[in-house]
A and B are shown apart, each in its own frame.
Chain A
Amino acid sequence: MSDDILRMRGITKRFPGVLALEDVNLTVRRGEIHAVCGENGAGKSTLMKVLSGVYPHGSYDGEIEFDGEPCRFDGIRDSEHRGIVIIHQELALVPQLSIAENIFLGNEQAVRGLVNWNRTNVAAGELLDRVGLAENPVARIQDLGVGKQQLVEIAKALSKRVKLLILDEPTAALNDDDSEHLLGLLRGLRDQGITSVIISHKLNEIEEIADRTTVLRDGRTIETLDMRADEVSQDRIIRSMVGRDLDHRFPPHTPTIGAEVLRIEDWTVHSPTQAGRAVVRRANLTLRRGEIVGLAGLMGAGRTELAMSVFGRSWGTGISGRVYKDGREIELRSVRDAIGHGIAYATEDRKRYGLNLVEDIKRNVSSAALDKLSRRGLVDENREYEVASGFRDSMNIKAPSVLVGAGKLSGGNQQKVVLSKWIYTDADVLILDEPTRGIDVGAKFEIYTIINRLADEGRAVLMISSELPELLGMCDRIYTLSSGRITGEVARQDATQELLMQYMTREEELAE
């Protein structure tokens, strides 16, 4: 048998008016972990869809050879039959069914049409052992966290006698512990002879786990890097991804910090679903004009909960504490109150909470400040167009007109629409929750530039992020949050990843 388990040669895929892939080559060696990276829109997902048969043979040009034989997949079932399993970013599990039922969904352990539940559950139990998940096979998926769900997906793949496992952004939604476990599991599978292809934005993970890395840019293969032989740094990969040197991942910025604009004191928030559980506990923080303040914390630390509870009590119950705006105490009972007091919150989940995807850019931009555009209840649509077009130019939203649907934009441009919406409310306190999540490297730089500009205009920015380098690169001051408590406040010059991580994991000693 050859050393290469997969050879994709000269893959070209066209969509009406667009060349999505052009002469792409990908060779994966047997038993390696192979990373595929590239900016959003570089063609990674399209390539994987070609490989897994989502785009059937004939709808693309080029050849695929798997395990020494040419492949002409006509659908995802064909590729799974050959041992290629793809795990998408959005997990394809049924929340109401049990772990075992999900693992054997479409592959039921049945005798003459009747499901043998004992065999199903025992077999599922064995698979769970292999992926290191200590859960009862009859537990329901909806009761598991995302990290464990990811493991169930892998168990499901193992049940199909997978030879090549493809993971699309597997750790995007995971916290550090779960990510670590997952990466460890991939190494374990590699030792058992299972080859993995991992698509990821997280370059530190790629650096840690991948044997080789193939970089795509604009639908073409740029190069394949041997992560073991060469001296391959993250900067090296980034340079290959963006096709230019990124000496500075963050735009230079000299802050002009003014007076205090927002102060939160003794802020406590309880969970709406688990009675009595405090998610944020007696938090204090201040924001000053012109300042970019970071909020760091692990998953579940209560970052989003803190932000949303301040933003007009849009999350949580049993909220207590005081909020001062420009030194005066204010009451924020509703989102409207918050907007009225110049506070804005840009969500971490743009598609679910941030945008109306069926409407155009124009109407999304105006949606939080329609009062500014209307007289006696009537919206001035021409002025609305003008305002939105103004933002399109100043924020560099890449769309031919503001009448383009928000659902058709890329992640970076969608984020610019969300930011435009909040800037138009004249907010002087902007809470940005994961402002660069799911955005490619080039667009991130633009978002950073916009954030700096907002601060220079005298607004205060509270930036929540899971990426510590981003907080270190952008923020003038960083708060750390752990189990709902503010556990540290670090000035820019003192901040290091190690120090922040130390504060972010500090729990017990602070308990009352």
Chain B
Amino acid sequence: MGRFILRRLGQGLLVVLGVSLVVFVAMRVFGDPAKVMLPLSATVEQRAEFEHLIGLDRPLPEQFVHFVKDLVTLDFGESLWQRRPAMEVVFERLPNTLMLIVSGLGFAILLALPLGAIAALRPGGIVDRVTVIGGLIGLSTPQFWLGLLLIMLFAVNLRILPTSGIGSWQHLVLPALTLALPSLARMTLLVRSQVIDELNQQYVKTARAKGMRFHTVLFGHALRNTLIPFITLAGWEVISALAGYTVVVESVFAWPGLGLTAIQAIQRNDLFLLQAIVFTVAIAIVLVNILLDIIYKFIDPRIKLA
């Protein structure tokens, strides 16, 4: 177990190194940080001073070594916008994003299993058809639009929930729901099709023929076998939410998490802060991936961690 985690951390290091290479090439080779970050009125001297300050006047390989060194020490420089270390801003906003993901995707995960299983009991029945059509609509709806529709319905017309911001639990309802619905749709459709396939297997007929109760077969066998692909998808949902899909939800609801901060950093040309956010999220994704592998091991003892 310990060796496995070490190995995966090593692979994670490769991912973070890859991210830093891409970010470096994008920022220093294709882009011009001085042009993006300095005001238009900056003089040539100011520009030279800024370039010297962040080391843009040195050769590229040397710049990359410094870049990686800063990365290892988690020193991303000072946020231009907030005038304080970028990592401080990140740690302040990270809990908000995590709260959104846990509540939204938690809701989706808890609801997808029963919904999908009920639909699978009678393939082609009325419940099944409603679930499938609802699911397809859910995964075809752009999240930002869904969020705006929910605002129009619950905040503008019914006036029972706040339009945006953070504070009470009521503020969390709409953003979490917006984040949850497309994921809920994908996961429900997966559970449904997996359970239908499982219930058509020969072992189910055998179990039923020897007199096992249907719900024992369903819960003890069919749903259990659905868990592995389900967790793969649920993990993917968490990762893609981390990797940026909360950006859209957070900017619709002005939810002060990492995503909204990323957009604000872009609007204020604060590349250091943006960089800090990207690396924090990259590390978070590596950790979630390791956690997923450990969960697999617990669910299916046949899986060997290597």
Report whether chain A binds chain B: no
Task: List residues of chain A with CB under 8 Å of any chain B CB.
Answer: none
Task: List residues of chain B with CB under 8 Å of any chain A CB.
Answer: none
